[in-house]
Amino acid sequence: MGTVYDVYRENNGNRFEELKRSIETYEQVKGTIKTGLEDREKIARQKARIMERLGATEEQWKDYRWQLKNRFTRAEDIAEMLGLSAEETDRIKAVGERYRFAISPYYLSVIDPDNPSCGVRRQAIPSFDELNDQGELDPMDEAGWTPEELITRRYPDRLIIKVTNICGMYCRFCQRRRMIGEHDAHADREQIGKAIDYVRKNKEIRDVLITGGDAFMHDDATIEWMLEELRSIPHVEIIRFGTRAPVTLPQRITDSLVNILKKYHPIYVNTHFNNPREITEESKAACEKLANAGIPLGNQMVLLNGVNNDKYVVCKLNQALLTIRVKPYYIFHPKTVKGTSHFWVRVEEGLEIMDYLRGRTSGMAVPTYIVNGPKGLGKTPILPNYLCYIGKDKAVFRSWQGKVFTIQNEIR
Ligand SMILES: *Cc1c(COP(=O)(O)O)cnc(C)c1O
């Protein structure tokens, strides 16, 4: 005799076939969009070549100070490691005279030398397109929202403190390229102290974001000093760090750093993965170390032409991030920063990605898509339309699969 489940199987069978079909293409292509973990042998080969070129030991490679000191800053050296032509090398040099570049040996090893359109390469290697002068140097008008040196304050209860202009790698799409300048410079304790005093005096500030540049480029002692100072302010509830170190310089996430951070909870870290290839053994280990110290990790992706403006790439990235305990937090629409126009995308591209993710994968893998209002108008969320009609007595929606439904909108 059949059970009730035989009837269910019979009646519901088509339903599950329909679900499978909704991610059929992704299932076919996801194997071709490799994370760094999936392409680990190639990355290991590049690492060996770079280490040999620099005469480095494994111990040096693991030392973030060595990584910082040995960042690639010469076009010829990059060309040698990636097998670039003389013409490409000259172009990198020409762009480098306008916008500086520096790439940690580690991040260079993640670039696929066989793929000219590698999404990691595009973020790090200067492109001739940077000489296109569209856009502005400060489209967000940070200068206009600065109540104290190092601070940007656009919101009532939180602000950012930019404690350095140093990074493990200078992203070609950087929103603050105007600050990267010719020289690496940390803000000193006097400057940072003044910014912290501003927080102390303004009691409504309950959330402080330490960023840069890359907040973790400071040494452990300075980071601990900042945390001590901020924790001496009763109205500071949470402290967040903005850092790409897990991605571009994962060696920076040392046991001694996380042992400092975890003394000052609640601490949050928002990092910045843009492409699945950035998820490697090393970046995974860095994120896990932070997560094990009780630090919730968020990812702030920037939507970038040629890096991740593809729904399957973002789906793969966000799923892979969850496996290393990083929660996709934001997708930022690119800003119209001068020298970055080759990265710009249309709003429809972001909406298509958001529409694809919802329903097809874990809600945990669906971040908020943000357009930043020009001149500092702030983060503005956008979603594809799910609400088709709203009236006095009913509201009409479409589901993630495009099925239209109505709910009652009148409470008696
Ligand atoms: C992005 C940003 C914040 C933080 O915004 P959340 O939405 O809270 O993550 C705070 N201040 C400034 C100036 C920012 O640009």
Q: How far apart are CA 386 and CA 373, in angstroms?
A: 23
The yes or no reply on domain 26-381 and CATH 3.20.20.70 is yes
Q: Percent of the chain beyond pLDDT 70?
A: 99
Minimum-distance ligand 1 atom for the alpha carbon of 270: 9
pLDDT, tens digit, for every residue of 264-291? Answer: 999 999 999 999 999 999 999 999 999 9
What letter would DSSP give residue 134? -
In sequence order, the β-bridge partners of residue 361 are 358
Taking Cα atoms as reference points, which of 131, 87, 77, 134 lies closest to residue 108? 77
The lowest-confidence range among 74-78, 182-186, 212-216, 397-401 is 182-186
Q: How far apart are CA 402 and CA 188, in angstroms?
A: 55
Taking Cα atoms as reference points, which of 170, 199, 176 lies closest to residue 108? 170
Mean local confidence (pLDDT), 53-57: 98
Minimum-distance ligand 1 atom for the alpha carbon of 370: 7
Ligand 1 contacts CB of residue 373 (under 6 A): no
Q: Best of 209, 237, 241, 372 to mutate for ligand 1, by most ligand atoms within 8 A of CB?
A: 209
* pLDDT of 3 strictly over 90: no
Of the chain, the end-to-end C-alpha distance in Å amounts to: 48
User: Hey, where are the domains in the chain?
Assistant: 26-381, 386-412
In sequence order, the β-bridge partners of residue 398 are 404
* pLDDT of 1 strictly over 70: no
Q: Average pLDDT over the chain, rounded to whole?
A: 96
Mean local confidence (pLDDT), 85-106: 96
Q: How far apart are CA 372 and CA 328, in angstroms?
A: 18
Question: What is the CB neighbour count within 10 angstroms for residue 138?
Answer: 18
Q: How far is the CA of 158 from the centre of ligand 1 (A)?
A: 7
Tell me the whole-structure pTM to 2 decimals. Answer: 0.96
- Bridge pairing between strands 326-332 and 368-373: parallel
